[in-house]
Amino acid sequence: MTSAEKAKSEPLIDLQRLVVSIRRRRRLWVATALLGLIIGGLVAVFLPSPPTAVAQILVIHPDDSPTDSGTLMRTDVAVLQTTKIATEALKKLNSTQAPEEFLKDYEGLGLTNNVLQLTVKAKSKDEALARAQAICDAFITEYIARNQAAAAAQQKALLDQRNQAQNELTPIEAAIVAEEAKNRNANPAQLERLYARRAELNSKISDYDGRAQEAGIGTPKVAAGTQIVDAPRILPRSFLKTLATDAGIGFALGLLAGLGLAAVTSVIKDRPVLRREISRHLGASVIAQLPEPPRFLRRSRAAARRQRVATTLVRAVRQPGGQVSLLDLGARKVTAALAVDMARELAAKGPVSLVDDLPKADLRTLAGEGRIRVLDPGDVPLSGHERRIGVGSVEPGTSWTELEFLGEETILVVRAGYANTEWLHTVARQLADRHIPIIGVVVVDPDPRDHTDGTLWDGLHTALRGRAARPMPKPVEMFPREKKNGYPTPYKRAKEVANADQPTKRFAPVSPDNAEAL
């Protein structure tokens, strides 16, 4: 599979990398969760919820039935939260508050098909009780008046229909009397039709009278049954319960905000955290990894682990003599300590020196008194039997032209999640331009659950298996030396480099035909 096919097959968002990035940013979302917890507690202490009064109203519906699914009660709740009820309640309270603002202070809830619960908030307990009572009275008054008006309108409509039937019955009665007065000349068929029509109208009149009476009787039942069954009272509130609730809500919101922020930043910043990503972007295999150094406890265990990694790196270095460099990217202390451990490992086999080009590392203090010399860049040139370890940095702002004087080969010490993908590519390109092969990568502070493969299967010129198959070249001196009385004298690198001819490269001119290909 080619690199282009690999790029096409990669998902837009790597879920494994996203999970690892969020887990590595646990300090962020833990901090936001704790901040939300503290803010929630402070809100409960300094901004307590206002007093709340609760009342329950029994509502009798004229058209209530066992099959009702709560539609009538939902209608009552909607009517309760209208400006008409709010205005009537404010009139009872003699308040000048706007009805629209008053609606925000109370709400209704249908507990059953006939029980309505009212919740009112106010600045004080007395005000909350007074508001609840006024709202209940306004709702009951409006509800009874509405039902009475509906019953009166229905009764009037029934009475009007009865009167219309009676008016229609009067000519029918007159026609029957006139037909019966003919005695033997009366038409039996006509009388039969008139008798049937009179009976039908009498039935309608009787029905209209009964329904009108029922409509009038229904209103007293509604007026007597609709009432306050639970008088307004203040809800008891526990300070500890309120504190726990507000703190829990703040903790949950802070945690969600922190997780969301960690996920978004991990996608936007594009900082590789998996070994397979680091090795792919740097073009070198991961040969070792070290956890983040502890600050207080288990320092001896961390030192032993670092010593084992130093032994592994010493074995990976190809030349028995010459220079090798350790270049830091986000793990300055680990790089300096690892270089000192490698120098001590090599000091048992011959002279070794450390070239300190790592800012704020203080290699002299770490090396201590012993056979390890700590030099500055450009000091005494390399002798034929001396081994040197250059310690430098490839963080942003690095002087790339000085890296080749630190070592012919390099080992990169990279902190996981420190640099973004573009900077890893920049480091790999600059080292390739300087003809400095990368022996391998030491990953610092990797994810404990990262089981990805950090080995490259292409590029034998940098892989350890390819290095083992090539013969070791003879060590060469980085700079010529002059001898005086049998002892080497320092070579004036700055002057010679300034006077030497600088290498140049010739580039073919770019024509319009091959510009796109180039």
pLDDT (mean) for 62-85 = 87
- The pLDDT value recorded for residue 11 is 60
Using a pLDDT cut of 70, give the percent of the chain over it: 82
- The pLDDT value recorded for residue 19 is 85
CA distances from 455 to 17, 286, 452 (A): 18, 6, 9
Using a pLDDT cut of 90, give the percent of the chain over it: 32
- The CA-based dihedral angle spanning residues 163, 168, 169, 174, taken in that order and rounded to the nearest 10 degrees: 130
Sign of CA dihedral 369, 373, 374, 380: positive
Long-range contacts: 132-135, Cβ < 8 Å, 24+? 132/53, 132/54, 132/55, 132/106, 132/232, 133/55, 133/231, 133/232, 134/89, 134/90, 134/92, 134/93, 135/55, 135/80, 135/85, 135/86, 135/89, 135/106
pLDDT (mean) for 133-146 = 93
pLDDT (mean) for 114-133 = 93
Chain centroid, CA 112 distance in Å:
39
Contact (Cβ atoms closer than 8 angstroms) between residue 378 and residue 359: no
Q: Read off the amino acid at residue 43.
A: V
Contact (Cβ atoms closer than 8 angstroms) between residue 221 and residue 148: no
C-alpha span between 389 and 500 (Å, rounded)? 26
- The pLDDT value recorded for residue 187 is 78
Q: CA nearest 146: which of 209, 60, 58?
A: 60
The band of 503, judged by pLDDT with boundaries at 50, 70 and 90, is: very low
The band of 414, judged by pLDDT with boundaries at 50, 70 and 90, is: very high
Q: Residue 277 corresponds to which tokens in the numbers above?
A: 């990503």
pLDDT (mean) for 350-371 = 83
Beta strands in 37-126 (DSSP E): 52-58, 106-110, 115-121
CA distances from 82 to 138, 144, 487, 508 (A): 11, 16, 103, 83
Chain centroid, CA 247 distance in Å:
19
134: how many CB neighbours lie within 10 A of its CB?
22
For the cut 90, the answer to whether the pLDDT of residue 127 exceeds it is yes
Contact (Cβ atoms closer than 8 angstroms) between residue 313 and residue 342: yes
C-alpha span between 113 and 73 (Å, rounded)? 6
Q: What is the pLDDT of residues 274-314, one digit of tens each?
A: 888 899 899 898 999 998 877 665 677 888 888 898 888 88
Q: Residue 97 corresponds to which tokens in the numbers above?
A: 């508050």
For the cut 70, the answer to whether the pLDDT of residue 502 exceeds it is no
DSSP state of 305: H
What is the overall mean pLDDT for the chain?
81
Contact (Cβ atoms closer than 8 angstroms) between residue 401 and residue 433: no
Q: Read off the amino acid at residue 394.
A: V
Q: Residue 507 corresponds to which tokens in the numbers above?
A: 């580039």
Contact (Cβ atoms closer than 8 angstroms) between residue 456 and residue 279: yes
What SS3 class is residue 221?
helix
Strands 409-415 and 322-329: parallel
For the cut 90, the answer to whether the pLDDT of residue 217 exceeds it is no
What SS3 class is residue 249?
helix
- The pLDDT value recorded for residue 487 is 36
C-alpha span between 500 and 435 (Å, rounded)? 20
More confident site: 382 or 357: 357
**Residue pointed to by tokens 């509130």:** 237
Beta strands in 278-321 (DSSP E): 286-290
C-alpha span between 324 and 339 (Å, rounded)? 10
C-alpha span between 24 and 35 (Å, rounded)? 19
C-alpha span between 366 and 344 (Å, rounded)? 11
What share of residues in the chain are helix, strand, coil (percent, to 5)? 55, 15, 35
Chain centroid, CA 118 distance in Å:
37
For the cut 60, the answer to whether the pLDDT of residue 491 exceeds it is no
pLDDT (mean) for 198-210 = 86
- The pLDDT value recorded for residue 509 is 40
Q: What is the pLDDT of residues 153-178, one digit of tens each?
A: 888 888 888 888 888 888 888 888 88
Helices and strands, counts by H and E, the chain: 16, 13
Report yes or no on whether pTM surpasses 0.95: no
Low-confidence winner among 10-19, 137-146, 301-310 (lowest mean pLDDT): 10-19
Q: List CB contacts of 283: < 8 A, sequence separation 6 or more.
A: 428, 432, 438, 456, 459, 462
pLDDT (mean) for 419-447 = 91
Classify burial at 86, counting beta carbons within 10 Å of its beta carbon; exposed 0-12, middle 13-18, buried 19 or more.
buried
- The pLDDT value recorded for residue 213 is 80
- The pLDDT value recorded for residue 4 is 46
